[in-house]
Amino acid sequence: MSERAALSGLSALVTGGGSGIGLGCARRLVVDGAAVTICGRSDERLQSAAEELAKASAGAGGSAPVAWVAADVTEEEQVGTAIARAATNGGGRLDAVVACAGGSLHMGPLVVSDTTSWRATVDLNITGTFLTIKHAAPVMVRGGGGSIVAISSIAAPLTHRYLGAYSVSKAAVDMLVRVAADELGPSNVRVNAVRPGLVDTEMVSSITSTPAVLEDYLDQMPIRRVGTVDDIAAAVRYLVGPESSWVTGQCFGVDGGHALRRGPDYTPFAEPLWGPDVLRGLLPET
């Protein structure tokens, strides 16, 4: 069975699908025959991405339906709207969801962290993924089952100093995936996560353009290269497709082996901003 035949007739939603890893995952699914709906917060970016996906489908000899809808995954009503739009685009079905919307609005030592940016990061990564699962699962159950794939991070199992909110929230995503898989398995809804390492996207351009930090990343990778969105999309494609029908509750590292070693050292970013004393928790007395 060809990959295109394997995904033909499937309906998928990709959150955060307007750029980066989300767009890469959407492209892989639509090229392999799935009807894909993408959502994100920027109308302009989503429209451009949807046009790109339609061209990719046509270039692969297909005509899978592509749709987009603006939605903030931290807003429950908007998540519900995105799920409904994806089901409509898929002829009333929703077979797969890639919960990719996420990121970090926080950086800095814990002792000087801004509570607002901490909460915003946790809300985006944890609550956004939770709401996506909450609203997608009942639609999948009514259709006989499906696959949900959350995009976690290497920051879930490995500490990332000065990215505490991101690390903690991605670790929570992994546990959320396991709980959801346990609850929804009896209804044939599978829930898994992919943990990307350092992937070449616009979001990490400051890392890849900072030699000291980039070299430290590479030094922790047995397969010493920066990943691509296609590396992640291939893992997502497996977890969405029928080849993984007996796989649930798993967190797959796609990171060049980075998780075998330690997390990255962001000191070259952080020390010029806060100084060595603050990095180790020493604050001036007030």
Residues with a catalytic annotation lie at: 166
First to last CA, the chain: 69
CA distance 285 to 58: 64
Q: How far is CA 136 from the centre of its chain?
A: 16
Backbone angles phi, psi at 256, to 5 degrees: 65, 15
Instruction: Name the nearest CA neighbour of 68 among 42, 94, 50, 41.
Output: 50
